[in-house]
Every structure is written in C-alpha cells, then in structure tokens.
Structure 1
Amino acid sequence: MGISPKEEKFINNLQQEILDYLELNDDRSFSVNQLHKAFAIRDRKTKEIYSDVVARLVREGRLIKQADGNVRVDTDSFMVEGRVDHVNARFAFIIRDDAEKDIWVSTQDLYDAKDGDRVRVQARKSSNKKQDRPEGEVVEILERRSAELVGVLQVTPGYSFLIPDSKKIYEDIYVNRYETMGANHLDKVIVEVLRWATPGKKAEGRVVKVLGKAGENETEMHSILAEYGLPYEFPEAVEDAADAISVTIPKDEIKKRKDLRKILTFTIDPIDAKDFDDAISYQVLKNGNTEIGVHIADVSHYVKPGSILDQEAYKRATSVYLVDRVVPMLPEKLSNGLCSLRPNEDKLTFSAIFEFNEKGAVVKEWFGRTVIHSDRRFAYEQAQELIEHTGEVTDSYEPIIKHLNQFAHILREARFKTGSVNFETAEVRFELDEAGKPIAVHPRIRKDAHKLIEEFMLLANKKVATFVHEMRQTDPRNTMVYRVHEAPDPEKLRVFSTFAKKFGYQVTTEPKQVSHSFNALMEAIEGKGEEHVLQSLAVRTMSKARYSTDAVGHFGLAFPFYSHFTSPIRRYPDVMTHRLLQHYLDGGESPQRAPLEIQCKHSSDREKLAAEAERASIKYKQVEYMSLHEPQVFDGIITGVTEFGLFVEIGDTSCEGLVRMVDLNDDFYDLDKENYRIVGKSNGRVFTFGDKVKVKVRSTNLAKRTIDLEMIGMRNSNGYANNRERRRDMPRGSARSSKVIPRGKRRR
C-alpha cells in the first residue's frame, strides 16, 4: 500500500533537512545514532523514521555509506533547482535557476517529471571525461507545468487518445470516450491532464476545448497559441474597461504637457501596420541645429497600475506576432485606436527630444509627457523611395527624410566604432491566400528607411536609461528597468572560433575584441556560401537579452545603459519604464527593486514564449508551403551535420529540412564531429557546413512541422533506392551500419 501525498511531502522535507545538515558538516561522517542526537530525536518511532530516510538516501546514492557504517554527503554532488527541457526521448537538460551550466539527466532519472516542470536535482560531475556539463537525477518535482496540452485527438469506438503537438512530450494521453466534448477524429483539441503516466499506467485526461479540424489555418494558429499558453482573446471585463475610456483628450490634460502639435511630425511603419506606437518630429532651430523628437504612445496615461487593463497587460507582457495575425497585449481600442499615433489626430505621448549639431552629435536632450499631431503616415517602402530619389524634389518631406537618414548613418557608425555587433538575421515574409495558405515566401530586406527608425529608437532607449541612472550620482542608483545583454559564454565562443577557423576566418576570444572581431567576420562572409551558417552560429554564441533592474549593460549594442522605452503598446517593460521615468521627473524616491525584478523576470519569460510561438507559426507555414512544392528541385545550403543526417536550408525561403543519413544512397557515411562534416566510407565524398546542394522534398509532416528532403545527384551503383533497402538485404551478422556509437555516448 502506497504512502499518501502528505506523507511523501513530510519524507521529502525530512530528507532535505538531513542533507542540509550533512552538507554543512561535509568534513565528517555520522552514525545514525549521532544524527538522532543532532536532531534531538528520543522516541523510538521517530528514530525509525529517521533511520528509514537515511537508508533511502543511501539507496538513492545521495549519501555515501562508509565501511564503518557511518554516512556522509558526496562532496562531488550538489543539489540545484531548475526547469526541465526534455530535448529528446532519451534525455533532458535541467535549466538551472542560478543560470549556471545546464544539467544532463537521463529520461529514466527524471522521476516522472515532464518538459516544463520545475524540479530539484541531485547533480554531480559528469562521469564522461569529455563532458564538462554536470549530470544528475531528479529527486523532487516542485511545480508541474501547465496541465493542458494541445494536440490531435485520435478517436476509436471504445476510447480516444491525444497525440500532443509538443515535440517534448513523449507519451499519448488516454481520453475516456465520455470526456471528448464531441470532438471528431483528427480534431485539434486542448486536453487537461488529470493524471500523468506512472509505471504500468498511461496518462489520462479530458478534452476541455475543441479547436477545429487539424490542418485548417485558424485551427493551427489557435493551437500554436494554446501550445505555448498564450491567449488569443480578451476577457469580456477587460474589453469593457477599454470601451469605457473616453476618446476625447481633456483640455486640462493638454495643459500639463509640452504641446508639440505645430511641429512637423510623421510616422514610418510597415505597410500593413495598424498600431503606430512611435513618431518622429523634425525642426531646424534658430541656432542652425536640428531638433529631432522621438514620440511614443503614452500608454501609462490610459493603463493605470493595478487596474484590470494593467493586470491583463502584465499577464500577457507582450504582443505575439504569428505569420497571419497579431495577438495584442492591449485591447484593440487602445492598441489600434487611442494609443496609435494615426495621422491627423491629436495624441498623448511620452517624448525624448534631441538637439543635434551639424556633425550629428547630440548637444541637448529633454524627456517628458507631450501632445503631438502626426501630419503624415509613411510606409517603409514610401520613405525608402524618397531616400533613393535623385531627380527634382516633388515631395516636401524628401529633404527632411534624407537629412534624418544622414543623422542615422552617423549614429550607426558611432555604435559600431564603440563595439556594437552588426548582426543581420534572416527573416521571411509570407504571401497568404484568403484561406491562409502560403502562396509565396520572400526574404525581408532591411533598407535605410528601416535602419533610420531603428537608430532613433535605439538612441531614445539608450538616453532614457542613461538619464535615469545618472539622476542620482551615488549608489544605490535609482531603480530602473533595463534591457540587459551579457557577453558571450567563453566556452561557446571558443567552439565557434574553432569552427570559423575551418572556413579560414579568425575570431578572437579576447573579451575586449570580440565585437570588433565579429563585425570583421560579418563583413568578410557577406555574399558567400557560408554567410548564413556562420551568422546563425555566431548569434547562438550570444547570451539571450532579458529585462532586469541590474544595470549590467548591453553587450550586443555596446551600451552601458539601455532600456525599452519605445513600444509600450506591445511590451509591458516599456510601460514600466514610462512610469518610472515620470515618477523620477516628478521628484519621486526610488522604489524597491525586488517587486520590479519579479516583473522583469515574468516579462522575459513571456517574451521567450511569444518568440517560440512566432517561430512555430513560421515553421508551420514553411512546411505547408513546401508541401505544395514536393516535385520541385531547390538550391540549398547545409546548415547542420548530425549522426542522423544533414540539415539543409532552402534558398530565399529559409525553409529547413532534413536529409536523413539512411537516404544518402551512394555510400555509408561516417560523422566527423570535430570537423562538422560527414565522409563517405568508400567513395570519400564529403558533406560539410556551408556546402551548396540540390534537394527536393521527400515528405512533409504538418503535425510535427518537419520537412524530409532528398539529395539530388546521388548515384548508387548497386541499384538500391536508399540505404534502408541496402541494409535490409545484408546478411545477418554483417556490418549493418557504418559506425557503432557506444550506448553511453549515444545517450549524451
């Protein structure tokens, strides 16, 4: 008969008490009787409980029993907490709370923990000398991930089961036939897990929402949002609160602000944008200098701290951008109406105003609440036409936008001189038909008009952060919400440097020279076959930017102080920044950091989820697009080399698929891991990172968002279609694969 959850919790707490005590005294060992005395245990029953717990800790390998019978902690092991990242069916990584190196855990040592669960892990130095990552086992599940899973429902006459969309959940969920909410076979549904699988018992759940038929655009987009725990509609009370806000700006509110309505102001945004959260103003001053204002929607005027709108905005923390839609942080009345800086309307804004001299240096700055009136709305394409125009001037905005572009070039050049890293990541844009099917994929091309806006937004973010930090000249400084970005991990940098060297490029690992070295590399590889591969790998060496109240700087931009001030319609930290800035302008004291740090952590976590959902929607559309072009031959480039195959990215579409090792049908291939390549065992043919190849689509799997590719131009003198058929006909006992990977190494 099993123990109750209450008893299990008591034992777990007791175990932790004993371990904590022994870790404090790790220089000696204890007998069980000495532990009884240490904890002042006198009655026999409690002594038996303590003895049983000690014996359990010894069996689990968390305590070492010596020849004399005494026990001690293993000084090579340590206890940490973190979140499970179940990367494949064989093992997981525990992403540690303390941001140190992840811990490798075999699936059999997960203690039934699932991807996303928060756990306590007994960790130790790896037994594999080549592996510097610790390994361990889960000893306690501290917090379960969301109990809801999204997937396809398989319906049979007697029962149903869910096949989860998440690639990191490796078990189906049994659903009683009376708990399906009428869902049909192959419908996408959300299932609440009632019980996770245990030895001998399958996981069980019940359908709580039917999303629709799998494969339909609306169903798939909603299922991606649900998979990442992101909402796609606002509660009625939140919509009502937004609807209740007056659209009229009170005259007494205008009197409190700097009135900039007579200064030339305009917006530059994507052609399909609906929310315009930033505008630029321009005027030449009497002293010959140029005044440029960066004006941001004053969301904090409408969204008050603690209100229902504020609670919902904080909960979401960010707008989510899928291929075919935006899921906004704020209701439409705010995001596309009151707070959108539409042309020919008075709007309340928060502004950063800069005076530039003729050399493009900022000589004066001002921050505060304003009211503006945008005179014109430009799409990026329209602004770019004016920048590139060389004939007679017919648009009065042309010289203004060209002048702004000159200042933007000066700001950009100064950034790179001080160490800003020049990464241009590849992005794609889809053309969709009325049903949401992708009919074309185009690379997004960033031109001067995009970079112009970017530079002035970066300037405003940097100057606001610096202004708040310098308001108080002694520590502790004023509490502020910073966008921080640490320097690359030295080990990742070393690995990347070694890899780049194989292509003939030098990347220094000296901390002070890294950014300049990266910029030199980006310039050297521009337009070459290895450009995208090296660029994407360089990005992976970088730390992830996040929000924090610690002013640790932004490595990628080479700014000592940087904040997010320019997009409060779609990012909650920008709302926090506006509130703090106004608080300090009003003479307020610095608030406690701890509550704001919690909000920063929450916002960073939500940003990560939103980014994952965006990538999932892009991947889905890429797979859908390629499924419509299966007979076509594509030019591709090898972007990954593994023991199971080659990853190939296809031309301008940026669609990535897998050429499986068993489908390389002209030879058996060995993985040369050190040199990032595979080599034919008989013919010596080599495939490596950056190689250009021709491929066609072998198969697509929309449910798993995967593409299998087939290499063109491969020849098999034996007449086999692929290595699967060749292995099938080999005699029993012969060498059926080109390389045998030891079981332990394969697990890692």
Structure 2
Amino acid sequence: MMNLTKQLIEYVKKPGYRPMKPKTLAKKIGVTKKKAAKFDAALEEGLASGEIQLSDSGRIRSKVPKGNHLGIVHRIKSGDAYVILREPKPVGLTDDVFVDKKDLKDAQNGDEVLIGLLQRRKGRGQRCGYVVEVVERATNVFVGTYSEDDESGWVQIDGKDFLEPVWVGDPGAKGAVEGDKVVIEMLRFPAVGQIGEAVLTEVLGTRGQPGVETQMVIHEFGIPEEFSPAALEDARLEAENFDEDNLEGREDLTNHTIVTIDPATARDFDDAISLEQIEQGHWLLGVHIADVSHFVQPGTALDRDAEKRGTSVYLPTKVIPMLPEVISNGLASLQENRVRYAMSAFIEFSKEGIPIATRFARTAIRVKQRFAYEEVMPILATPENEEIEGVSPEIRGLLKNMHTLAMILRKRRFEKGSLELDMPEVRLDLDQDGNVSGAHESEHDESHEIIEEFMLAANIAVAVRLTDEGLNFLRRAHPDPAEPKLKALKEFVEILGFSFDRFQSRQDLQKLLRVVRGTPAERPINYAVLRSLKQAVYTPMEMGHYALAEDHYCHFTSPIRRYPDLHIHRLMASIIFDNLADTRPSEEELIRLGHHCSVTERRAEQAERELTKIKLLSYFEDKIGEQLHAVITGVDRFGFFCRGIEIPAEGLVPVATIPGNDYFEFDRPAMALVGRSTGETFRLGDPVLVEVARVDVDRRELNFRLLTHSSPKRPPKKTAQRDQSKKKPSGKMSAKSGRKPSSKRGHGGGKRKRNQNRKKR
C-alpha cells in the first residue's frame, strides 16, 4: 500500500503534471482493474496526508506550495484580472488579488491558478499578485465566429474574454465559411505578445439558423448530449423487463387518491402527493417519488452516463435529460392512470404542523389526476364549486386539504427563520419556429408553494433518518454567510434607507425581505442578499442549510433529473431492505461526487441563463430605438444596468451616454452614480425610460440609451475650483467623454499587433 501511495504522490508532484480524474491517473501509473480497490485506498491515504488534494471538478492535484495560493481568475474588460482566493486565505487578506495582464501568463477567465503575492498594492491597499502556473483550465472548448484573413482561418471567440481572434490554420477547415459559428479546441492560449492557436472541430452553421444558438451553448458549456450505446441498451432492457403487474416487495397504493401538480410544459413527473386526516386531527402526508433506483443499477453504463451528466439541463428550446427518455419520460415518469414504482415518504403531522412520525416504503402507485399549476388556483378559490369540469369532489377536497397543510408548514418554516428571496426567472415566449416573440417573469403562487412545502418536508425527513442511522450521505448544504459580507449588506441596506441593525440575525434578515417586498428596493436588496450568501453545495459534511434554517437537509425528490437524489434513493432502499453494509460509500467518494454534482448543477444553470440571454439579444437585434420602462438593477463606475419591465431583459446605460455634460462619480457604498455639478443620482431601484441603442449578440452585450429618469437629487459637491475648470478628477467618469480626460486612445493598434504576430509565425 505504501509503495502505491508513494508512487501516486510522486507522479502528481512531477513538473508539468496537470490535474486529472482518479481513473485517468490510475491508468497513467499503470494500475489495472484488478488493483482498483488498492488504488482507491492509496488515493484516500494520499488525500488524508495532505500531500495531494481534490479539486472542485474531482481532479487530483498536488498540495499548494508554501508561499503560493490557489484562486479562480476573473478577467475584466482591460485584460487585467482579479483572482478570487480559495479558502483558507492568508491571514489578513480578505479582498481578491489584482493581477496585471502582463503577469497573467496565459490564464483565462474561470481558470484555477496558483499565484504569488507582490509587495506593491493598488489604490485602497489592494494586494497585487502574479500567476505562477495554471492549475486547471475552466475549459479548452470554445464557440466563436469564423473568418479568413492573410490566407489563414481565424475565430473570434464569443463573449468578452478574448480580445483578439484565435488562429485555426488553413482556411476552409471542416468546410467552414465566413460568418459560420464554429467549435474550437484550444491548443495554445493567448497571452501578452502571443496569439492563441486552436483546432476547428465542428461547424454549427450561421447564427439565426434553427438550432444553431442552442448548439452554441451546448458546446460552450461542454454538456453531454448523446447517450452511450451501452446506456441506451441498458434502458431498452429495463423497458422490456418492466411489468406493472409485478408488485412484489412493494406496498400497493394503486387504489389510493394520489395527484401530481407540475408546470404545464413538464415532460417528466417525478413527484406525487397523497394526504388524509387521521385521528386527533393529525395529517398523514404521502410524498411519492419516482423509484429511479429500480431501473438504474450502480455500476451500469446507464448509471455511469447519469453520473457524468449529474443533472438534466432545461434549455429554453431543448431538454437534455440525465436519463434516456424511455426512463425519464416513460418508465419512471409518474403519469396519470399508469401503474408506476415509487419511493414513498409518509410523514405524520400534528394539526399544528409539527412532524410526529415518519415511515418510508417502496410502493406502487397510480396517479388519479395530473394538474398544471395554473389549474389549481381556480379550484382552491372555489373548492365547493361542483361545476369545475373533470374534478371530482374527492379531488377538490384533497387539493383544499393540501393547501391548508402547506400553509401551516410554510408559516412554521418562516417562524423558524427560513429565508425566501423573490427572484423570478425569465421565461421566453417562443413561436412555432423557436424564435422569441416576447418574455415574461415566472410566477410563483400558492399552487407552487404547496408542492414546495411538501418536497421540503420530505427532503428534511429523509436527511434526519439517514443522520439517525449514522450514515454518510450527500447532503444539500448551505454554509452560513461570512460576517464581512453581512456587514457590507448592512451598509448597503441602510444607505437605501432601511434598518438592519442585527445583521447576524436570520430573523432580522427575514424581516428586511418582508419590509422591502413590493417596493422599488425589493429587487436590488434581494440581489444584494443573494450576493452576500454562499452557494449551496452537495457534500457529506454537516454544514446545515442556512437559508432553510435546517441542520439536516438533502435532495430526495427529483431522481429523474438529479443524480444526488438517485444516490439518496439507493441509501433509503438499503434502509428499507436492511442491507446497509452493501451501500456505504466512503467519505472520499462522497466528497468527489458532491464536487462533481455541484459543478454540473452550476453548469446547467449557467447554460440556461446564457441561451436565454442570447435569445433575448437576438430578439432585440431589429428593435433599435424601441422604448422600454425599466428599473436600475446594478451600478458601476462605467454606467448602470437596468432591467425592462414589459420585457425582462437587462442592459447597460454607459455613463458616456447620459444626457448633459455632468461628471458622474461612483459612490461604491451607496451603489450610485452621482452628478458632480447637478447632484443627479442614479441608484438601485430607480425607474427609468430607456431605448434600445446597441445589440451585439456575439459579445453578449445590450446597451440602452437613457431617455428620462426621476429620483431625488443630492446637493452638488462644493469645490474651491469648481468654476475654473470642468476637468474631471482622475478616476471619475465623464458623461460627455466616458473616459478619463488624460487618457489616449489608440486607433487600429489591435489589428497592427495581430498582423505583427502573424509575421512572427
């Protein structure tokens, strides 16, 4: 064992080693399948020693050398970057580290890097640093626009991270023509004085053609789209072997009154509800979840594909499921009037909503009726109305009881300190060709809250049971926010005129969110609260869930679309069948799986937002000059962002385009732009009227032009030399010029530099 551990550590510490997944590493050092268990033990030993570490993506890397620090690169428009340090941070260093572009090497946005610290500091004492090496790339695959110049092919990568095109060799590779959207894999990343070099791997077509924008995002985020032939074969075999009359080992609930409530556009249905009142006025809630673990066995090709994906991806124009549709939309989907296998949680509540007892079982159910959210509210509004077509008195009574219990649970949850941020998502209105005809914010009414409360109750009940059993499992954790973040939130909230004295108190934060609801400050304060919180993650560590005010929480209710839920189902099945010894994953395996599932979840969310943004930008391309009522959602020194009310698209009003000749100073604590002469103030929550000024889909930019704005003005600043010169103080922005008066602009420098680089090649 010691020899294999030593061999593993020595390989990882070799110069030029790049972090790799455990399976790849095992192959590299010559470990056969027969010795896989020994390798896992050696890996666990190496990690325990601290000589090697596990990255967020589940790759093995060497420990951080003394004097260096790990962080994630966040590049800014100038080409410079800030590095967001990993924990634990150096003592006394709380801010991000500034890295000049000449000290970045070839590090790109999102890369994990090793940095050293410099003695010099920026304004306000911010530490500066330099990149020692790139530890792990965020990605090697990019999407961009193809062009030809100087008898070579070039690709301008979408977005703002790459200022210059990347060389892709001989023109016409893969049949690409000018203007095509293409996929490239980077061979050499660009750096100061060095052009990027890549290989063109796929031609997607011209942007605007059906499906091209969706494929752009799928490739940009590296989302697996096709299932392996072996996984598809596993799914087909499960379909052939499924017999809905075979209920062996299952509790038969097929005659119980069970319903589902889902979005009208839902394609898979993984949760269903039953509810009855029992003795002493208690409630017996049944939460019935699709038993995916019956169809997806550990270690199969189907399981490997599902784990790799981690989650289903719900793009505006396409769903990329975690499991093949024969399972996700067929065998495991709790469809109306079909016998389906389920994992059921039965929770008994007192009439006050206090959980009394829980029981879990593998069951067979038959959903009596499926509802869309939009159908439930009219029934709840008039539960005694027998004229509602197709809804029996029994079902109406069930829905009424569901609403009653859900509101009791909801009230108790908030009394306990649970938080709720009102952050509606943007939903696109698409025509038959998949083009955007409009957009709206998603609604969240009491029909959604019913299902939300019952799913939360089931997730908590399962997490408590697994904890009581002394099992390691994949928790859904939400760490407590850092105190400096809460202090910054307090300052911001009080500048907007709201009281927030006890910023460490969850109850006071909850009260703040209630007070601002329905006011112009609601959205900016919700965003500010969200920025002050840490991200929720999957981990076996007992961190609790801050936003829900729960000590134990996991995801159990969506195994069709989330791999962590499938993991939980397997553990629950082991409890039910009393064979826990066979399914105890190691803590190391759970840490790796948690990292992986957290990453794939964030990837799916980012991909959905990115395609939504691209579709909205495409919608606005032919709407230059169209007016929108909007609300300011973000402020920076270069301008302010605002979000449309009728169409919830967010765009920038550059400070240079604000009417008039005033100079605007950025008041960071107040998140406001303040006119030096007039006192005109642009701050979060202000209503504005804007018009569409500029759209650049490839760079993901939407610019508005301000038409009207009304808000309280601050008194103009008094300065001794105010009338002597209109010159803007260094570092302040001018509405007239949009830049520092002393700055010099180059013309065509970028192109000249690129041509010089080509000649060097």
Shorter-chain TM band: 0.7 to 0.9
Which residue is 1:16 aligned to? none
Say if 2:301 is the partner of 1:303: no
* 1:439 aligns with one of 437, 440, 443: 437
Corresponding letter in the other structure for 2:514? E
Distance 1:568 1:555 in 2: 24
Deviation track 1:77-131 (CA, whole Å, cap 9, x = no partner) reads 9312234333444322334443645433222211222233332211368734735
Which residue is 2:698 aligned to? 703
Q: What is the deviation of 1:547?
A: 0.4
Instruction: Name the CA shift for 1:606/1:95 in 2 (closer, same or farther; >3 Å).
Output: farther
Which residue is 2:449 aligned to? 451
Corresponding letter in the other structure for 2:114? R
Corresponding letter in the other structure for 2:629? D
Bigger-Rg structure (1/2): 1
Q: What is the deviation of 1:287?
A: 6.4
Deviation track 1:404-434 (CA, whole Å, cap 9, x = no partner) reads 1111011111111111012121222221112
* 1:244 aligns with one of 237, 240, 250: 237
* 1:567 aligns with one of 542, 558, 567: 558
Say if 2:580 is the partner of 1:588: yes
Distance 1:401 1:117 in 2: 50
Q: What is the deviation of 1:737?
A: 4.7
Given that 1:670 and 1:738 are in contact with CA atoms closer than 8 Å, whether structure 2 keeps it comes out as no
Correspondences of 1:120-269 after superposition (within 5 Å): 120-123=114-117, 127-128=121-122, 130-131=124-125, 134-156=127-149, 158-178=151-171, 180-197=173-190, 200-247=193-240, 249-250=242-243, 254-269=247-262
Corresponding letter in the other structure for 1:588? L
Secondary structure in 2 aligned to 1:653?
Answer: coil
Corresponding letter in the other structure for 1:334? I
Q: What is the deviation of 1:449?
A: 0.6
Distance 1:290 1:175 in 2: 66
Which residue is 1:576 aligned to? 567
Which residue is 2:331 aligned to? 338
Distance 2:383 2:261 in 1: 21
Given that 1:667 and 1:681 are in contact with CA atoms closer than 8 Å, whether structure 2 keeps it comes out as no
Corresponding letter in the other structure for 2:645? G
Distance 2:100 2:224 in 1: 33
Distance 2:707 2:192 in 1: 46
Corresponding letter in the other structure for 1:580? L
Corresponding letter in the other structure for 2:624? E
Q: What is the deviation of 1:673?
A: 2.7
Q: What is the deviation of 1:503?
A: 1.8
Say if 2:684 is the partner of 1:689: yes
Given that 2:540 and 2:587 are in contact with CA atoms closer than 8 Å, whether structure 1 keeps it comes out as yes
**Mean Cα deviation higher: 580-589 or 662-671:** 580-589
Corresponding letter in the other structure for 1:151? G
Correspondences of 1:395-414 after superposition (within 5 Å): 395=391, 396=393, 397-414=395-412
Corresponding letter in the other structure for 2:480? A
Distance 2:279 2:520 in 1: 52
Given that 2:538 and 2:597 are in contact with CA atoms closer than 8 Å, whether structure 1 keeps it comes out as yes
Distance 1:673 1:541 in 2: 16
% identical equivalent positions: 33
Given that 2:182 and 2:200 are in contact with CA atoms closer than 8 Å, whether structure 1 keeps it comes out as yes
Distance 1:271 1:430 in 2: 15
Distance 1:306 1:736 in 2: 69
Given that 1:153 and 1:162 are in contact with CA atoms closer than 8 Å, whether structure 2 keeps it comes out as yes
**Mean Cα deviation higher: 253-262 or 311-320:** 253-262
Distance 2:620 2:191 in 1: 39
Secondary structure in 1 aligned to 2:444?
Answer: coil
Say if 2:80 is the partner of 1:91: yes
Distance 1:421 1:694 in 2: 33
Deviation track 1:2-47 (CA, whole Å, cap 9, x = no partner) reads xxxxxxx97789xxxxxxxxxxxxxxxxxxxxxxxxxxxxxxxxxx
Secondary structure in 1 aligned to 2:208?
Answer: coil
Distance 2:588 2:419 in 1: 31
Distance 1:714 1:375 in 2: 54
Which residue is 2:541 aligned to? 550
Instruction: Name the CA shift for 1:596/1:311 in 2 (closer, same or farther; >3 Å).
Output: same
Which residue is 1:531 aligned to? 522
Q: What is the deviation of 1:501?
A: 0.6
Instruction: Name the CA shift for 1:131/1:351 in 2 (closer, same or farther; >3 Å).
Output: farther
Say if 2:649 is the partner of 1:655: yes
* 2:108 aligns with one of 110, 114, 119: 114
Distance 2:565 2:221 in 1: 23
Given that 1:215 and 1:702 are in contact with CA atoms closer than 8 Å, whether structure 2 keeps it comes out as no
Instruction: Name the CA shift for 1:640/1:252 in 2 (closer, same or farther; >3 Å).
Output: closer
Q: What is the deviation of 1:555?
A: 0.3
- Superposition misfits of 4+ residues, deviation over 6 angstroms: 9-13
Instruction: Name the CA shift for 1:642/1:97 in 2 (closer, same or farther; >3 Å).
Output: closer
Corresponding letter in the other structure for 1:481? L
Corresponding letter in the other structure for 1:630? I
Correspondences of 1:251-290 after superposition (within 5 Å): 254-285=247-278, 289-290=282-283
How many residue pairs get matched? Answer: 649
Given that 1:86 and 1:93 are in contact with CA atoms closer than 8 Å, whether structure 2 keeps it comes out as yes
Secondary structure in 1 aligned to 2:211?
Answer: helix
Corresponding letter in the other structure for 1:708? N
Which residue is 1:680 aligned to? 675
Corresponding letter in the other structure for 2:419? V
Corresponding letter in the other structure for 1:405? H
Which residue is 1:42 aligned to? none
Secondary structure in 2 aligned to 1:191?
Answer: strand
Corresponding letter in the other structure for 1:161? W
Deviation track 1:315-347 (CA, whole Å, cap 9, x = no partner) reads 110111112222111111111111110011111
Corresponding letter in the other structure for 2:580? G
Which residue is 1:723 aligned to? none
Given that 2:244 and 2:340 are in contact with CA atoms closer than 8 Å, whether structure 1 keeps it comes out as no
Given that 2:101 and 2:192 are in contact with CA atoms closer than 8 Å, whether structure 1 keeps it comes out as no
Say if 2:634 is the partner of 1:603: no
Corresponding letter in the other structure for 2:129? G
Corresponding letter in the other structure for 2:453? E
Secondary structure in 2 aligned to 1:574?
Answer: helix
Instruction: Name the CA shift for 1:581/1:687 in 2 (closer, same or farther; >3 Å).
Output: same
Distance 2:86 2:729 in 1: 41
Distance 1:428 1:520 in 2: 26
Distance 1:692 1:251 in 2: 58
Q: What is the deviation of 1:670?
A: 2.1
Distance 1:11 1:563 in 2: 40
Say if 2:466 is the partner of 1:468: yes
Distance 2:707 2:123 in 1: 40
Given that 1:465 and 1:561 are in contact with CA atoms closer than 8 Å, whether structure 2 keeps it comes out as yes
Given that 1:297 and 1:339 are in contact with CA atoms closer than 8 Å, whether structure 2 keeps it comes out as yes
Deviation track 1:699-725 (CA, whole Å, cap 9, x = no partner) reads 11111222110111489xxxxxxxxxx
Which residue is 1:44 aligned to? none
Given that 1:180 and 1:206 are in contact with CA atoms closer than 8 Å, whether structure 2 keeps it comes out as no
Instruction: Name the CA shift for 1:264/1:11 in 2 (closer, same or farther; >3 Å).
Output: closer
Instruction: Name the CA shift for 1:88/1:236 in 2 (closer, same or farther; >3 Å).
Output: farther
Secondary structure in 2 aligned to 1:90?
Answer: coil
Say if 2:623 is the partner of 1:632: no
Q: What is the deviation of 1:274?
A: 1.0
TM-score scaled to structure 2, two decimals? 0.80
Distance 2:526 2:144 in 1: 34
Given that 1:179 and 1:206 are in contact with CA atoms closer than 8 Å, whether structure 2 keeps it comes out as no
Given that 1:152 and 1:214 are in contact with CA atoms closer than 8 Å, whether structure 2 keeps it comes out as no
Deviation track 1:362-393 (CA, whole Å, cap 9, x = no partner) reads 32211121111111111111112211126533
Give RMSD over aligned pairs: 2.7
Which residue is 1:82 aligned to? 71
Distance 1:302 1:131 in 2: 58
Which residue is 1:669 aligned to? 663
Distance 1:665 1:286 in 2: 70
Unaligned residue ranges in structure 1 (runs of 5+): 1-8, 14-74, 472-476, 716-733
Distance 2:170 2:695 in 1: 31
